[in-house]
Amino acid sequence: MKSRINIAIDGYSSCGKSTLAKELAAELRYIYVDTGAMYRAVTLFAVNNNCFKEDTLDKQTLLQQLSAISIAFKNNADNKPEVHLNGQNAEEEIREMCVSQKVSSVAAVKEVRRLLVAQQQKMGEQKGVVMDGRDIGTVVFPRAELKIFMTASHEVRTRRRYEELVNQGKTVTRNEVSENLKHRDHLDTTRKEDPLRQAEDAVVLDNSNLTRSEQLKIALRWAAEKINANNKQ
């Protein structure tokens, strides 16, 4: 019986982390956890519960309601995990631009991070998890057997995200997408609590010039090496 490992995937916004994480999880028959969806779900809750005054987060109002937030992943008819907020499927709404524009301020709140990190750590207790986010290799699973830090050029990331949103029927401009990515990268890397950074033992995957299948092949090779090493222990 092959032993299972945890795989942590971190990186900037729209680097294709979730695409790789989903494909890796499917190949290895592991569970995929999209931690960004959890921060987005808390943000959606905050938007719907008067925690934003204009575009500014009213932290106290959010903190008073934190215990009323319940987040779960449920598989849809195609066996794809979707995030549910307080029992309601929120998978589509959490991807709206208004959530994307506010999520970094919610993700910077220490109490929100502590709550979600504890849930994420629980999901990985049995191993066999592929988790993507910003602090997975550094904070959530500092002892993950495989840590991948993904990166791609800003132009490539803007194009991919713009095309994704347009394909979903969203009305956005390329410039809006580009500015949102820059803004989020800045906030995610400079925030005080668990900023995005590469773990010392992470391997870097720059996919600016890689196809999906090429990046999957590379990551599967890395995973196989770690699983083999784990089996020998």
Per-residue binding string, ligand DC, 84-123, x by CB under 6 A, is: -------------------xx--x----------------
Q: Which of residues 153-192 bind ligand DC (CB under 6 A)?
A: 184, 188
To ligand DC, the closest distance from the beta carbon of 231 in angstroms equals: 29
HSE-up (13 A, CA, CB side) for residue 36:
24
Q: Which helix (H) or strand (E) holds 28?
A: helix 17-28
- 147 makes contact with ligand DC (CB under 6 A): no
Angstrom CA distances, 196 to 22, 39, 108, 156, 171, stand at: 21, 14, 11, 20, 29
Provide the residue type at 24 as one letter: L
Per-residue binding string, ligand DC, 57-86, x by CB under 6 A, is: ------------------------------
Phi, psi of 32 (to 5 degrees): -100, 130
- 39 makes contact with ligand DC (CB under 6 A): yes
- 133 makes contact with ligand DC (CB under 6 A): yes
Taking a C-beta distance cutoff of 8 angstroms, is the pair 26, 18 a contact?
A: no
Which residues are near ligand DC by CB under 6 A?
13, 35-36, 39-40, 103-104, 107, 133-136, 184, 188
